[in-house]
Structure 1
Amino acid sequence: MLHITDDIFILDNEIELNAIRAQGAGGQNVNKVSSAVHLRFDILNSTLPNSVKERLQTLNDRRISKDGIIVIKAQQFRSREKNIGNALNRLTDLIQKALVPIAKRKPTRPTRGAKQRRLDNKARRSEKKKLRKKINFSH
């Protein structure tokens, strides 16, 4: 059982782990040992609370498919056990990220001082550009 928080957990049979061969450099070990791990977790068919399921699906994360399946590939370590732990930690982090409520934006207005500084800055810039123009002596 994977504990996310005190009251939220995922049963072991909801997580599908497949051992695969890792990519990249590593020589003979990479070629003969299936140490990388593919983790698949179906959000819709899980025991997570509905509010967490909805938040997970609204996350903009490339690891979550449109069908609501989280796919995590872990191949950082040489041993399968460490890669399994890494994949489970990344799944936990992803779900905990979905638990954080999105803060509502409070509309604010610029202060009177900020408005004045902006206008002063505009006036200084305008004056600087006026001084760059050619002088007209015909007046």
Structure 2
Amino acid sequence: MSADAIPVGPGLAIPEAEIVERFVRASGAGGQNVNKVSTAVELRFDIAGSPSLPESLRARLLARRDRRITDEGVLVIEAQRFRTQDRNRQDARERLAAFVAAGLSVPKPRVKTKPTRGSQQRRLQGKRERGEIKRGRGTRDWD
């Protein structure tokens, strides 16, 4: 891992060259300063075209249904939580590292199980009881 890379996990770092940062004006409250200073950071990372990500990790990240990932496979993170450009830049990089680190864990495959005979019988018995209650609600002849 080189010094100019964002560490993500053991043996994995994102090189600075693969990150595109743009500084824009932050929205929301901030007085006169908000109209003059570009403190918000828009960080872009091309997941689909990144040579530093293993293929399995890339596929897991792209499969996530996240609104921050564009159709081209580019992750866009907007950071404007803080008042300084430096803190927002740091925040965006931390969020990028957290996003990629979340994809490192391989989900455990689901094992199909059959319902037990007892659980099936309890379910059917409950349905029968419910049906009896409903049948008892019919119109009564009081004469």
TM-score above 0.5, yes or no: yes
Q: Number of aligned pairs?
A: 138
**Secondary structure of the equivalent of 2:133?**
helix
After TM superposition, the structure 1 = structure 2 runs for residues 60-99 of structure 1, keeping only pairs within 5 Å, are: 60-99=65-104
Aligned-partner Cα distance in 1 for 2:55–2:130 = 56
Aligned-partner Cα distance in 2 for 1:82–1:48 = 26
Deviations 1:102-121 (A, max 9, x none): 32221111122211221221
**Cα drift, residue 136 of structure 1:** 5.5
Runs of at least 5 residues in structure 1 that lack an aligned partner in the other structure? none
- Are 1:41 and 1:69, in contact at CA under 8 Å, matched by a contact in 2? yes
1:122 maps to what in 2? 127
Deviations 1:26-45 (A, max 9, x none): 22121111110010112214
Deviations 1:63-116 (A, max 9, x none): 111222111111111111111111111111111122221322211111222112
1:41 maps to what in 2? 45
**Secondary structure of the equivalent of 2:41?**
strand
Runs of at least 5 residues in structure 2 that lack an aligned partner in the other structure? none
Matched, 1:12 2:16: yes
Aligned-partner Cα distance in 1 for 2:119–2:43 = 51
Aligned-partner Cα distance in 2 for 1:79–1:92 = 20
Which amino acid counterpart does residue 98 of structure 1 have in structure 2? Answer: G
Percentage of pairs with the same residue = 43
1:30 maps to what in 2? 34
Aligned-partner Cα distance in 2 for 1:46–1:78 = 34
Aligned-partner Cα distance in 2 for 1:118–1:133 = 24
Which amino acid counterpart does residue 86 of structure 2 have in structure 1? Answer: E
Which amino acid counterpart does residue 75 of structure 1 have in structure 2? Answer: Q
TM-score norm. by structure 1 comes to 0.89
1:55 maps to what in 2? 60
TM-score norm. by structure 2 comes to 0.86
